[in-house]
Amino acid sequence: MFRFVVFCSLFLAVSFPTSPILALANELSEPPSQVIANTTEAVPVLDDQENISSAEEQEGMVTRETVSSAEPAIKPLSIHPTSLDFGIVVAPNSVTQEINVQNNIDAMAHWYVEFDPSPEELRAARHLSQTRYLSFASLMDEEHYTVPPHIARSVGFSGCWTNTDGYPTSSGEGNESLQISFSGTGLTLIFATNAKSISYTLNGEAREISLPQKEEVSAKVREEDPRTGSLEAEEFAGEIHQHQEGLATEPLAEKYSDREPLPKTKLRDLSLAENLTPGSHSLSLNLSPSPLTIYGIKIGGVNTRSAGRNAVRVTPISGRVLAGETEKIRVTVNAHGLESGLYSRVVFLNDGTGIIPLDVHFQVAAAEEGSVIHSYVKDGRYFLTDLAASDVEWLAKAGYSPAGVAFQLFAPKSAATVPLLRLVNLATGDRFYCLESERRKAPYRYTYERNMGNIATSRLPNTKPLYRWYHQDRDTFLFTTASDTKALRNQGYIFEKTVGYVR
């Protein structure tokens, strides 16, 4: 019987090489190989979708490849940063920032904005909308760090904090301190340091947390260049570049292009407080001998309003990233029609394998009127005034002539602004104007005279820079919004800095 079965099998194999019986036998006898399905899935194109230009996408559909496997070892795309803080947006203006979309695989990757996330994805990202992210980035190009106005009431720096590409860095000598006042249920610190631990005091209770070293880095610690957001980046590309109504501030990359690239930095997200009783809390950071750079904080348990789709928009809403490349996309916050208050929204990007959440945070404030500043001149010396009675009387006696309206300041306590002070040289009568925080840096011969109003520290919509020039022969300063630098240089003026932004 056995010989008969063997003979029949050989006969079938010779006579019918493609016999289904033999095929079935081979399939059962061989171990199953891993099968990867390369399918094409159709995704409808939305009316306002941009950057869809290839010939195969003419029928109102975009194609993307999907792999029928478990969660991939490496996500095709990642975004940097993963959180955006727009600070204070004055209604009805709009503000735009850029983020990097990085391709992590050896093939072209597609992405699009997911306008209809699943309930599971919404639940997974819900905690992001209950968190308030505050970035410590300052656009003031100063050697010493200047606190951004929208976080000035929440954080207090003492000591000599230097400006490292826009972020505060301690000296490492233990002479600085940081106090944080917040209302919520938790706080996460985003920072970089080589220290082995972080010591701090929370509501009067001393605490210390050991930091994993490089060989022990956990999934919660990101190896990242904080300046570009790209993993293990070698060059400084400038992570944030703000645009406002078509006018762009200089990117951080240009601002610090003369500096040597920083070494690779371990950027850490460390929870310093969790499950606190809702209410006000205080945290004091005890600095170690190692330098510490702080990039921001996340406050949990914050009640924010949900910003609608029209308030937070992404441009373009779909795209492709070549293998190993990074593309930029723009995120715009529009405060038109929004009431004053805190807002947040989670933007979902889909890369074909899953959702990448981007949480957006901002505060809306109502616009206020400010002082109109007039210019007067005498013998090459300029005097800026809001026509206060005391100024008008002095100008008449001193023989100054009116030179027209110079600019307009903001009202006191206006969002994203700080006081602009006027100082006087009692020996010459020359005036010097500076931010309140820079009063101590003013020339020694100038003394405080009065507060002129408020000036913006970053370029808000419908604003222009206020420049400071110095004439060495006359030993006098010129504060002007004029952009004709050639004419000023021909008159003997030397450019010193941008004081701030006025209307």
pLDDT (tens digit, 9 = 90+) per residue, 57-76? 333 333 223 333 344 467 89
Please give the pLDDT value at position 480: 92
Is the Cβ–Cβ distance between 318 and 329 less than 8 Å?
no
- Per-chain mean pLDDT for the chain: 74
Asked whether the predicted pLDDT for residue 456 surpasses 70, the reply is yes
pLDDT of residue 321 exceeding 90, the answer is yes
Residue with tokens 């510490």: 292
pLDDT at position 42, please? 33
Tokens of 26: 């081979």
Name the superfamily (CATH) of residues 132-220+246-300.
Galactose-binding domain-like (2.60.120.260)
Identify the band that residue 276 occupies on the pLDDT scale cut at 50, 70 and 90.
Answer: very high
φ/ψ of residue 56, rounded to 5 = -80, 0
Question: Lowest-pLDDT range, 217-221, 264-268, 343-347?
Answer: 217-221
Q: In sequence order, which residues have a C-beta less than 8 Å from that of residue 159 and are 6 or more positions away? A: 170, 171, 175, 176, 177
Chain mean position to CA 135: 7
Which residue has tokens 């891993």?
A: 34
pLDDT of residue 129: 65
* pLDDT exceeds 80 at position 487: yes
Owner of token pair 């209809």: 116
Confidence of residue 196 (pLDDT cuts 50, 70, 90): confident
Who wins on pLDDT, 21 or 207? 207
Q: What is the rounded CA–CA span in Å between residue 342 and residue 363?
A: 4
Contact criterion met (CB below 8 Å) for 339 and 304: no
If one compares 481 and 254, the residue with the highest pLDDT of the two is 481
Query: What span, in angstroms and rounded, lies between the C-alpha atoms of 384 and 374?
Result: 6
Looking at per-residue confidence, does 450 or 1 come out higher? 450
Q: d(Cα 324, Cα 440) in Å, to the nearest integer?
A: 48
Rounded distance, CA 414 to CA 150, Å? 11
Residue 92: predicted pLDDT: 80
**Thinking of the domain 77-129+304-365, which architecture would CATH place it in?**
Sandwich (2.60)
The structure tokens 């391709």 sit at: 103
Q: What is the mean pLDDT of residues 267-296?
A: 88
pLDDT tens, position by position, 378-431? 887 889 988 776 787 788 778 888 888 899 898 887 888 899 999 998 888 889
Smallest CA-to-CA distance from 453 within 480, 439, 435, 477 is with 435
Q: What is the mean pLDDT of residues 8-17?
A: 42
Q: Which residue has the tokens 């095709």?
A: 76
pLDDT at 330 over 70: yes
- Asked if 331 and 360 count as a contact pair (C-beta separation under 8 A), the reply is yes
The C-alpha atoms of residue 497 and residue 477 are separated, in whole angstroms, by 11
Amino acid identity of residue 127, one-letter, is H
**CA–CA separation, 158 vs 144, rounded Å?**
12
What is the rounded CA–CA span in Å between residue 320 and residue 327?
A: 8
- Choice among 1-15, 298-312, 337-351 with the minimum mean pLDDT: 1-15
Least confident of 52-66, 127-141, 157-171, 483-497: 52-66
Predicted pLDDT of residue 469: 93
- Block residue for tokens 């090459």: 380
- 8 Å CB contact between 433 and 384: yes
Residue with the bigger pLDDT between 120 and 253: it is 120
Residue 241's alpha-carbon distances to 93, 247, 349, 398, in angstroms, are 17, 11, 20, 45
Residue 360 has pLDDT above 90, yes or no: yes
Q: How confident is the model at residue 109 (pLDDT cuts 50, 70, 90)?
A: very high
- Rounded to whole angstroms, the Cα distance separating 391 from 383 reads 10
* Average pLDDT, integer, range 108-126: 83
The total number of residues written for the chain in this structure? 503
Report the percent of the chain where pLDDT is more than 90: 28
> Is 372's pLDDT higher than 60?
yes
Lowest mean pLDDT among 109-113, 172-176, 189-193, 429-433: 172-176
pLDDT tops 60 at residue 454: yes
Mean pLDDT of all residues in 367-387: 83
**CA angle, 368 then 370 then 371, to 5°:** 170
pLDDT of 105 > 70? The answer is yes
**pLDDT digits 0-9 by tens, 14-35:** 444 444 333 333 333 333 333 2
244 DSSP β-pair partners = 247
- For 384, the token pair is 């800026």
- Over 70: is that where the pLDDT of 193 sits? yes
Helix (H, G, I), strand (E, B), or coil: what is residue 123?
helix
359 has a pLDDT exceeding 60? yes
